[in-house]
Structure 1
Amino acid sequence: MTLSRRAILMGLTAFSIASILGAWAFQYIGGLAPCAMCYWQRWPHWAASLIGIAAVFFGTRILPYLAGLAALTTSFIGFYHSGVERKWWPGPASCTGRGLSSDMDNLLSFEGAAPVLCDEIPWQMLGLTMANLNGIGSLVVAVLWFWAARLPEGKHRIF
């Protein structure tokens, strides 16, 4: 299978858009209220989506690298959230039920997520939580963004 660089960039952009839509589906259709760290994971997806759209239209080399950094950021937040959910390390006091301990925690809190604690697992499939899936999927996509940034224009053999 061969794809153009532009098609590859469109597919990578679609991942972040699908991640946001999936989060909204869990929230508004599935009734799973997000915690503060769930919201934190959405912002880099928004950034990767917008940067990816710009990369598709303008085709510059720097934009896929920036989208890759955004995907890497949400991946790191997802892995951090995964550890908090599994109680491997403490999370911010503002969303783990430990009480507010500093002004930094207050800055990191999200009012709309107040009733939901970040150290609880509201959903999982085959032992993987949404934070796990975001961490893993976004890491793979970040690597693909960096790979795509190095591709010359034209068709590229994928499989």
Structure 2
Amino acid sequence: MTSVQSRNAAYALALIVPAALMAGALISQYGFGLYPCEMCWWQRYPHVAAIVLAVLALTIRGKGAGDLAVILAAICIGASGLIGGFHAGVEYGWWEGITSCATMASGGNPLDAIMNAPIVRCDVAPWSLLGISLAGYNFLLSIGGAVLIFALLGKGRKGA
């Protein structure tokens, strides 16, 4: 793989990884009724920031500013992964969470929203595959994606 191909792959992954994970989270929520807890929301915010940064990187696409935006996107992706790792540890009972696991209320009458909101606990995994929860998969995919983005971008810069 040439240095240009490595940089292009880093730019692409900086958008694909958070976009795919956010799509999975939204499909889980709206398609399968797996409502997010407070820590699930915490994992989404860095992915949204990473998507914005990756789109910015693709539009400016210069070595300096574009690479900086990709680096910041990778940091955001990694941050979401670390939050996911902490959340998975709470779900598995390895440590206690730092939240009361409140649900989010939105729009309309606030009392109705609170009374009709599903109760979602942060310390209970609503779904798992092979013993790994959604937060655990976010940890694995986000940390792996961030490391790969840094490696590809480093290889692309080394050859330039």
TM-score using structure 2 length: 0.79
1:124 equivalent in alignment to 2:128: yes
| C-alpha contact (below 8 Å) 2:46/2:80 kept by paired residues | yes
For residue 12 of structure 1, report the CA deviation from its aligned partner.
3.1
The letter of the residue matching 2:8 is R
Sequence identity percentage: 37
2:59 counterpart residue number: 57
Once residues 94 and 142 of structure 2 are traced to their aligned partners in structure 1, the CA distance between those partners, rounded to angstroms, is: 21
For residue 8 of structure 1, report the CA deviation from its aligned partner.
3.7
Once residues 96 and 9 of structure 2 are traced to their aligned partners in structure 1, the CA distance between those partners, rounded to angstroms, is: 41
Q: Secondary structure at the match of 1:87?
A: coil
Query: Alignment length, in residue pairs?
Result: 142
For residue 114 of structure 1, report the CA deviation from its aligned partner.
6.9
TM-score using structure 1 length: 0.79
Structure 1 runs of 4+ with >3 Å offset: 1-4, 152-155
Alignment of 1:30-69 (within 5 A): 30-59=32-61, 60-69=66-75
The letter of the residue matching 1:42 is R
Match of 2:85 among 76, 79, 87: 79
Consecutive unaligned residues of structure 1, counting only runs of 5 or more, are 96-108
Consecutive unaligned residues of structure 2, counting only runs of 5 or more, are 106-116
Change over 3 Å in CA distance of 1:72–1:7 after alignment to 2: closer
1:140 equivalent in alignment to 2:144: yes
* Mean Cα deviation higher: 38-47 or 85-94: 85-94
For residue 110 of structure 1, report the CA deviation from its aligned partner.
5.1
Once residues 134 and 99 of structure 2 are traced to their aligned partners in structure 1, the CA distance between those partners, rounded to angstroms, is: 21
2:27 counterpart residue number: 25
Once residues 99 and 77 of structure 2 are traced to their aligned partners in structure 1, the CA distance between those partners, rounded to angstroms, is: 25
RMSD of equivalent CA atoms = 2.3
Change over 3 Å in CA distance of 1:143–1:93 after alignment to 2: closer
Once residues 158 and 71 of structure 2 are traced to their aligned partners in structure 1, the CA distance between those partners, rounded to angstroms, is: 16
| C-alpha contact (below 8 Å) 2:40/2:135 kept by paired residues | yes
Once residues 45 and 83 of structure 1 are traced to their aligned partners in structure 2, the CA distance between those partners, rounded to angstroms, is: 20
Change over 3 Å in CA distance of 1:57–1:4 after alignment to 2: farther
Change over 3 Å in CA distance of 1:51–1:76 after alignment to 2: same
1:111 counterpart residue number: 104
Once residues 159 and 59 of structure 2 are traced to their aligned partners in structure 1, the CA distance between those partners, rounded to angstroms, is: 15
Q: Secondary structure at the match of 1:94?
A: coil
Change over 3 Å in CA distance of 1:114–1:29 after alignment to 2: closer
Once residues 86 and 17 of structure 1 are traced to their aligned partners in structure 2, the CA distance between those partners, rounded to angstroms, is: 26
